[in-house]
Amino acid sequence: MPGLILYDYWRSSAAYRVRLALGFKGLEYGCVPIDLRKGIQGEPGYRGVNPQGLVPALVVADAPESPVLTQSLAIIEYLEEVHPAPALLPADPLGRARVRAAAQVIASDIHPINNLRVLRYLKSPLGHTQDEIDAWARHWMIAGLSALEDFAHRHGGRCVYGDSVTLADICLLPQLYNARRIHTDLAGFPRLLAAESHVAKLPFTIVAYPDEGMTAT
């Protein structure tokens, strides 16, 4: 059995972040697909793994009692502490705080209000059309990405922060993937697109890229 088991949904940006972090650190893991479209996340079997009924969840199978970790950034910070090299956070405290702040622009500001369960609630029971829901999602994506573009302009190099891959880039790639799915105009974010282009060429990103054909391994 692999030492790490990821409960995953191929198109979840939060799960995508964790796949990227695992790949960046060269960690092997098994994958258990949870199809959010079919409501598997609400079934008792998965609620026993993660009572929130969200993905991702990471089981540390080779640790005593096989603890389950939830929330993508908490999972990634755990991986950073247990497997510090290669690092996803800068060595200096100020740099670490800045990278965490950039990551939170996505994970705390953009993503939660554009999450699948929120968008479904806008449709039913609130009765919004799909066009209205997509407009809602684009609005909040553009607001958050605008702030992150400014951050990258002030602090970025080849990546969102400096020239090395950090947690900020791990969050950026899934968010831009989501933005394109709903036809968000990204022309106003040249620094973010440049960082994405650089990071997306690195080998660890290939196996993490969303693929509906993902199966348990």
pLDDT value at 25 more than 90: yes
> Which of 29-38, 111-120, 142-151, 162-171 is least confident?
111-120
Residues 154-201 have pLDDT tens digits of 999 999 999 999 999 999 999 999 999 999 999 999 999 999 999 999
Convert the pLDDT of each residue in 196-217 to its tens digit: 999 999 999 998 999 755 544 3
So what's the pLDDT on residue 37?
84
Q: What is the mean pLDDT of residues 95-121?
A: 93
Distance between CA atoms of residues 99 and 148, nearest Å: 11
Mean pLDDT of the chain: 94
CA pair distance 26, 209, nearest whole angstrom? 15
pTM check: above 0.85:
yes
Which fold is adopted by the domain 4-86? Glutaredoxin (3.40.30)
Q: Which fold has domain 93-203?
A: Glutathione S-transferase Yfyf (Class Pi); Chain A, domain 2 (1.20.1050)
Average pLDDT over residues 39-68: 94
> Where do you find CATH 3.40.30.10 in the chain?
4-86
Start-end of CATH 1.20.1050.10 domains in the chain = 93-203
**Tens-digit pLDDT profile for residues 46-57:** 999 999 999 999
